[in-house]
Each structure stands twice: as structure tokens, then as C-alpha cells.
Amino acid sequence: MSDTTAAPRLAHIARATSETEIDLTLALDGDGTAQLEMPIPFLRHMLQLFAAHGGFRLDVLAQGDTDVDAHHLTEDIGLCLGRALRVALGDKSRIARYGERHVPMDETLARAVVDISGRSACVLQAQFSRDLVGDFPTELVFEFFKSVANEANMAIHLAVLYGDNTHHQVEALFKAFGRALAEAVTVPSALHSELGGVSLGPSVPSTKGLVEW
């Protein structure tokens, strides 16, 4: 259960380059709704599912050089989402840190495992049955999640365990990621007892404690 007495965990990120312009707001303790305006319909659909299954509130207004291809805008939306996650978590006080979920989508089964550790890594194990979903290149799935991981300073491990339909494969990944992330950012009321009575102080669960540079 989340700590409802804490300050709202939300962030607003604005990013503008010669290639893209993005305005993104993320509320971790949201209502599962999203308001998304972007010229990449499939990614818009995936982000809507991410917000719904994670219980987040996500608003994105984005435009970019999609006349070239979808790469720049997809990557930059991932960067903004990762940055928003990092800002919204602040000092990551008392979060569960780890999250893992399996999500089926008809014949497909996907897994997402995340660690909000302060170190970035992204691994995707998937053999997509097609190179495109509509006009969205499936190679951009990894680029999106890599951008999130790099800006959020977290590890994201994704896998399509099996399945044939490309839309189902990608959709199951986004749903699983939303649910795994929701678990990782949760502030459990019994966190102390769940960790065997180890006192971890106010920061993210780790036997290292705080590292000062």
C-alpha cells in the first residue's frame, strides 16, 4: 500500500531539440489514465496501456520529425519518461525497489523485471514475428526502453517468452513493464518486516546504504 500522507510523487519534463519537442507529466500515484498527443499512434496506444496497468497518470504532448522516421521521437519520449520517473521518485525513500510481472496477451507471454538501483541497464529478449506493427518499427521497442532505463537510472529486463502475433508481443511487454514498475515504486507499510528487520534508513533498500561522491 502506498504512503498516502507523503507529498505527491509527480514530475513535469519539457524537452526541445531540433528534432523533437516534448511536454510530459508523470504522476506515480495516479488513476491509470493518460492524455497523449503524438504522431505515432502505436506508441500512443502502448503508453496508454502502460499508464493503465501501472496505475499512473501520464500526459504527453509530443511532436517531431516523424516525416523522417519514428526513431527520434520514440527515443526522446523514452528519455523524458525516464527523467520524469527519476524526478518523481526523489530520494527513492522506502520504495520496494524491485518489481516483476508476467503478463499474457492471448497466445503471448511476456515478462518484465525492474530494479530502481541507481544504475542503468536494459535487456530485451524477443524475436518479433514482424519488423513492423502498422508503421511502427519493432526495433524501436528496445530503443524506447533503453532511453527510459538510462534516464531513470534503473535496470529493465524484458522478455517475450513465447507468442506469434507481433502486436500482442509488444503490448504484453508494455503492460508487464507498467505492472512491474508499479510494484517497484510502491512504498510498502511493512517494508521493514519484509526485509527481515534490517534497518535501511530513509533511502532505497540496499545493504550498501548511501554512497557519497
Q: Which value, in Å, is the radius of gyration of the alpha carbons in the chain? A: 17
Res. 197: pLDDT tops 60:
no
Distance CA 183, CA 101 (A): 9
- At 123-158, the pLDDT tens digits run 999 999 999 999 999 999 999 999 999 999 999 999
Res. 203: pLDDT tops 70:
no
- Residue 209 — pLDDT band, cuts 50, 70, 90? low
Averaged pLDDT, 65-93: 96
Look up cell 507471454; give the residue. Answer: 109
Instruction: Please name the fold of domain 10-188.
Output: Ribosomal Protein S5; domain 2 (3.30.230)
Residue 7: its pLDDT value, please? 77
In three-state secondary structure terms, 113 is: strand
- At 15-26, the pLDDT tens digits run 999 999 999 999
- Of 5, 46, 50, the closest CA to residue 26 belongs to 50
- Residue 201 — pLDDT band, cuts 50, 70, 90? very low
Residue 24 amino acid letter: L
Domain ranges within the chain, ordered by starting residue:
10-188
HSE, side-chain direction, 13 A CA sphere, residue 104: 2
In three-state secondary structure terms, 57 is: strand
Sheet with strand 121-125: strands edge to edge: 98-105, 108-115, 155-162, 121-125
Averaged pLDDT, 80-96: 95
Greater confidence (194 vs 130) lies with: 130
Helix pair angle (41-54, 71-89), 10° resolution: 20
Length of the chain: 213
- Residue 33 — pLDDT band, cuts 50, 70, 90? very high
Res. 3: pLDDT tops 90:
no
Res. 92: pLDDT tops 50:
yes
Look up cell 526513431; give the residue. Answer: 71
Residue 93: its pLDDT value, please? 82
